[in-house]
Each structure stands twice: as structure tokens, then as C-alpha cells.
Amino acid sequence: METKAAAEPARVSSRRVAELFGVTTKTVGRWSDAGILRPDGHGRYSFSVVDLLTIAICRDLQRRGFKLSQCTAVANWLRRRGLSALQSEWAVGRKFLLTIGANEPFPRQFASGELFHNEHIDLAAAFNLGLPIAIIDLAAAYGVLLGKLEGGEQ
């Protein structure tokens, strides 16, 4: 799947984040307090495209039953990767299988079709340990984000 690469755009305000994701600015503040977002500024916060991508992914994780603390761990992992690494990964169709425990998410990269035919991924062991598992499709998440930024999907 080919997805447009984004240069780092101008930063986005808390109000705009709330509009994009259909939440209140109070919710944006809670995401910041939880560490899902890392705002710049004092009084008037602004957010980067990595923050927006992180929200898109974390909102999906929450809909799938993940806790806010687990979303924060994923957000920190995404932020450390940085925009250029994330863009490179979604450009080649990389997806990530994350086991999300109390510590750092443990990522495994895979391409479509490799999930069940990969000796490095032991889903049964993860399930037996009770580790929550999430598959993160960066290109799809970025596509959702682009749709929101271009005024389409809400």
C-alpha cells in the first residue's frame, strides 16, 4: 500500500486535535496528562504529526479494549521511533505485532501474510502469559489521519 509521506507540518492546537478526533479539549488534556501526547508550549499547547498519529493508533487500541496505560506505552514507543522511521516503515507496508505488558511494548515487524508463518512470533506463548497483543498498521493509521487533516473522515 503506497501512502503519501508527510513532511513535518505546522503544529496543531489542542482545539484542532479535539475537532479532528471528535473529543473535547478536556480529553486532549487528559491524553497529555497520561503521556499519550507530548505538547509543546505553555498555556497554548501544540502537537506534532507524530502526536496525531499516536492519537489515531491509541484511540483504535482503546476501542479494542486496551487500557490508557497500555496506550501510553505504545505512544512512547511510537514517539521514540520518530516520524522519518515511521514513514519509512509504512512506505514498505510494515505492520507491527506488539505485546503490551507492564513494560515496554515488544514489537515484531512483519509484512502482510507473515503473521502465522513466522517462527519469531509465538502467539500461543503470548496468550498463555496473558500478554495483550495488538497489530499496528502504520500506513492505515496514517491514512486515517490524512483523511481527518484533509477534512474527510471524522
pLDDT of residue 142: 83
* pLDDT (tens digit per residue) in 34-90: 888 888 766 677 888 889 988 988 888 888 888 888 888 888 888 888 889 888 888
- Integer CA distances (angstroms), 138 to 41, 97, 128, in order: 27, 11, 27
* pLDDT (tens digit per residue) in 1-19: 444 444 445 688 899 999 9
Q: Which three cell numbers stand for residue 138?
A: 502504520
Q: Which three cell numbers stand for residue 32?
A: 497529555
Beta bridge pairs of residue 109: 96
Question: How far is 73 from 48, CA to CA, in rounded Å?
Answer: 18
Q: Where are the domains of the chain?
A: 12-149
∠ CA 49-51-52, nearest 5°, is: 65
Question: How far is 143 from 146, CA to CA, in rounded Å?
Answer: 5
Question: How far is 94 from 113, CA to CA, in rounded Å?
Answer: 11
The model carries a pTM of 0.72
Question: How far is 151 from 52, CA to CA, in rounded Å?
Answer: 14
Domain 12-149 is found in CATH 1.10.1660: yes
Query: Which of 28, 36, 32 has its CA nearest to residue 67?
Result: 36
* pLDDT (tens digit per residue) in 100-149: 665 555 555 544 554 455 555 555 555 555 566 777 788 888 888 888 88
